[in-house]
Chains A and B, each alone.
Chain A
Amino acid sequence: MNFDDAIRLTEILLGFAFAQQSIEHFKSFTNERRLFIPRFILAVLLVIGFQTAWVAVLLLLLGLTLLYRFQGPYNGGADRMSLLILFCLCLVYFSPTQRWQEIAFGYLALQLVFSYFFSGWVKIVNPEWRNGRALCDVFQFSVYPASESLRQWSKSPRILFVMAWGVMMFELVFPLLLLSHISLIVALIIAASFHFANACLFGLNRFFWIWIAAYPSILWFQLRFISTV
């Protein structure tokens, strides 16, 4: 995947993710609709590729307005990743040279790697994650399970122990999977499946769409910097 294709694919996936998020606010309060209807229109413009640089700047400004409106992210990590992708795209559009453009887009790719690796690291240093108790707690009393029946999963500690170690190991070895393009593609399919499972079990649908929007950056990064070494 070359640089221009990766940027274009990022724009399309980001636009789709923003459109999906924005539609969810169409039935909300008047003052929220005033922010999310323009965001939806800008997202569609990003998807079709109309004046993408200026559209991204407007989306970034709107993103900052939303941060102020909700006094922080509306949807935690998903909103943070949204702003990070937009921020990097804006840097790419307005960087003076190809080298700086690649640094900006490469930063997004590195942050994507960090998003998996550090999530794995903070878990494995916690004894409650290592013994499987933390994942039992997630299902037993946290706010995350999307339905009451999912709380029953906390009664299967052995399965959750295996799942916890599976997640931690995958997150920790993710950087190593950049060593070949094939292993990276497999890793991204597993990672997307993990986000899909989180969306189904915990209702975190926005994470799924927005993390996928960052995948073109890592596919380009791997071909540009790692497979050539």
Chain B
Amino acid sequence: MIIFRILRLLLPAVIPSWRFFDVIAPSPRIQFTLLQSKDESSCESREWHEFRPRPVRLSFLQMLGRMLWNPERNESLFLVSCAERILQQPTEHSENEILKRIAAELRADNFNSTTTATYLQFRLLLVQRKNAQLCQEVVFRSRIQPLPMQDTM
């Protein structure tokens, strides 16, 4: 079964379709919230934070540096893939990947409400253009994940 699954994943690499940027599809954004209790999840006034917002500006020197060292950006692109997979067909793997990377980043950055929060949840916002207007809608809410989260998944 695993071999069959791996071969199914390998096939698009050996016989690629090369359809880069063929359609500019609606774009997912990851937002997270920290909760003190599970009951809080029903509260609509919760504060949602964008996960890893992109920098306001990058100098050419910073861009050059990122040619060799760009782990955060590449991880963010992987999380976009996970978000897209969730929208196509939700899997526990993609949800876990997003949750554990948010949890790890919060721990590393010592995010201000992490110390008291005991639960984490993320949601996916889909941004798209309808005629000339940009619109966004919430299309997915993750499970409520107790903190701290194991990083060895």
**Chain A residues at the B interface, C-beta cutoff of 8 Å:** 20, 23-25, 27-31, 64, 67-68, 70-77, 79-84, 87, 111, 114-115, 118-119, 122-123, 126, 128, 134, 137-138, 140-143, 145-149, 196, 199-200, 203-206, 208
Contact = CB atoms under 8 A, between A and B. Distances in A.
Given A68-B2, A138-B24, 20 more contacts: A24-B74, A27-B71, A28-B71, A29-B152, A31-B153, A64-B9, A71-B93, A71-B94, A72-B9, A72-B81, A73-B13, A77-B20, A115-B18, A118-B18, A119-B18, A141-B134, A142-B24, A147-B58, A199-B67, A200-B63
Contact of B13 (A27, A68, A79): A79
B56 A148 contact: yes
Interface string B53-67: 111111010011011
A73 B10 CA distance: 9
Contact of B14 (A84, A143, A146, A147): A84
Interface residues of B, number: 57
Given A72-B9, A137-B24, A143-B77, A118 B17 contact: yes
B60 A200 contact: yes
Nearest to A86: B13
Contacts of A82: 13
Contact of B22 (A75, A126, A199, A208): A126
B71 to A, nearest CB: 4
Given A27-B71, A87-B14, A138 B63 contact: no
Contact of B70 (A68, A87, A147, A203): A203
Given A20-B68, A67-B9, A140 B134 contact: yes
A77 B18 CA distance: 8
A1 B19 CA distance: 30
